Structure 1
Amino acid sequence: MAFDLNGMMGKVKELQDKMQQAQDQLQHLTATGEAGGGLVRATANGHRQLLKIEIDETLLTPQDRDMLADLVVAAVNKALTDVAEQARVELQRQTSGLMPNIPGLDLGNFGG
């Protein structure tokens, strides 16, 4: 059985093209994380960029300053975690069947 280098190179090129297409689509994925029962909401995209922060006006007082900072961090981290999982699933879906399952090869962090 001869090794088909041209066939393998074609598969690699196809994988690269699919990965680029998937990366381009990640900007359209969004996730919103909430903290404080929805008092703070953060929205991020599949490129792990923060798009929007929404803060309930009841938190905009000097005495709530420290709590507000904690809630913003929690909401942003939740949004980034959720959108990273969506991106991992999308990349996996886009490249399904193009590469053999190689132990130790993790394409899930391709976008990060």
Structure 2
Amino acid sequence: MFGDLMGMMGKLKETQEKVAATKERLNTVLIDEQSTDGLLKVTLTANREIKNLEIDTKLLEDKDQLEDYLILTINKAIDKATIVNEAELAAVAKDGMPNIPGMDGLFK
């Protein structure tokens, strides 16, 4: 019984390390998004950190329009990054979980 418990604890520690490594790797996965007309471009990591922002000078003439563009485009980029982030972390967590009865339905 204790051998199984120790094995599970070891597997959980290994999974924690894999999750940490995956989070670190997601800092290098870049998500690009742009406004429909291409006047605003955003690049962020799969961990949702903005890395680059390109604003066409046409948008600098209208503060309200620029703010709308920023909100819409950044939110679209964050949505894409969140999908990638959650899928990658869920895959690592599911793969690394020990076989605990009743827990198999949590990571589908």
Counterpart residue number, 2:69 = 71
- State the shift of 1:5 in Å: 0.7
Counterpart residue number, 2:12 = 12
Mean Cα displacement is larger for which, 76-85 or 27-36? Answer: 27-36
Q: In structure 2, how many angstroms separate the alpha carbons of the residues matched to 1:45 and 1:27?
A: 5
The verdict on how the C-alpha distance between 1:102 and 1:17 changes in structure 2, with shifts beyond 3 A counting, is farther
Q: In structure 2, how many angstroms separate the alpha carbons of the residues matched to 1:28 and 1:49?
A: 10
Q: In structure 2, how many angstroms separate the alpha carbons of the residues matched to 1:36 and 1:98?
A: 40
Q: In structure 1, how many angstroms separate the alpha carbons of the residues matched to 2:71 and 2:43?
A: 12
Same amino acid, percent of matched pairs:
31
Structure 1 residue runs of 5 or longer lacking an equivalent are 107-112
Structure 2 residue runs of 5 or longer lacking an equivalent are 98-102
RMSD between superposed Cα atoms in Å: 2.1
Q: In structure 1, how many angstroms separate the alpha carbons of the residues matched to 2:36 and 2:64?
A: 13
Structure number with higher helix proportion: 2
The verdict on how the C-alpha distance between 1:30 and 1:77 changes in structure 2, with shifts beyond 3 A counting, is same
TM-score normalised over the length of structure 2: 0.80
Alignment length (residue pairs): 102
